[in-house]
């Protein structure tokens, strides 16, 4: 199945049923890993909103949620500068933190965020990302604990991810066609 978004063509990459199954598994892993803790889930907007909403439905342990907003993309190109648009809204000192990302490609935004979070002295920080592009990573993240899917270095849209602000509402994940 192909679709067009803002004059760019996309083809189906990951169906929603696969996404749901993977999120259930990640939720189970987090419930076991944090059984006796009360973690703070920090969602990185805008892309994480569908993933985090579905993930939180699978979390059975006590937990708090918070959102931040960083910007590093324009269209389908990642820009060098990272802008903090909405900051941290909860005290995370001595707390277990789980950062929830929609996608990690170069890792520049995540690296920036981790440096900011470390300043607040959390007890621990784990990273949970729906998608990971290992071939594009420019940083190592030893605390990358939960990954939904590893994908090739392709531009994707859907399930919270956008192209020029469009396509976030698609339930499946699509890749750009050449």
CA 101 – CA 123 distance, rounded (Å):
20
* Catalytic-role residue among 6, 94, 96, 105: 105
- Please give the Cα distance from 153 to 36 (Å, whole number): 37
Residue 66 to residues 36, 45, 55, 91, 97, Cα–Cα distance (Å): 20, 10, 14, 10, 10
- Residue 127, Cβ density class (10 Å: 0-12 exposed, 13-18 middle, ≥19 buried): buried
Give the phi and the psi of residue 153 in degrees, each rounded to 5: -75, 80
- Can 102 be counted among the known catalytic residues? no
Phi and psi angles of residue 73, each rounded to the nearest 5 degrees, phi first: -115, 150
CA neighbor of 162 nearest in space, from 11, 1, 5, 3: 5
Positions marked active-site: 105
């Amino acid at each position: 199945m192909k679709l067009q978004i803002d004059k760019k063509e996309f083809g189906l990459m990951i169906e929603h049923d696969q996404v749901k199954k993977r999120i259930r598994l990640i939720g189970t892993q987090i419930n076991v890993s944090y059984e006796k803790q009360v973690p703070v889930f920090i969602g990185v907007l805008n892309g994480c909103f569908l993933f985090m909403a579905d993930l939180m439905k699978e979390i059975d342990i006590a937990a708090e949620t918070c959102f931040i907003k960083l910007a590093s993309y324009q269209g389908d190109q990642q820009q060098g500068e990272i802008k903090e648009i909405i900051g941290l809204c909860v005290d995370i000192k001595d707390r277990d933190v789980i950062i929830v990302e929609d996608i990690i490609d170069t890792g520049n935004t995540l690296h920036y965020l981790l440096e900011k979070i470390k300043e607040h002295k959390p007890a621990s920080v784990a990273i949970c990302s729906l998608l990971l592009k290992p071939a594009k990573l420019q940083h190592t993240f030893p605390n990358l604990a939960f990954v939904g899917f590893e994908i090739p270095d392709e531009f994707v849209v859907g399930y919270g991810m956008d192209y020029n602000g469009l396509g976030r509402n698609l339930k499946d994940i699509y890749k750009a066609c050449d």
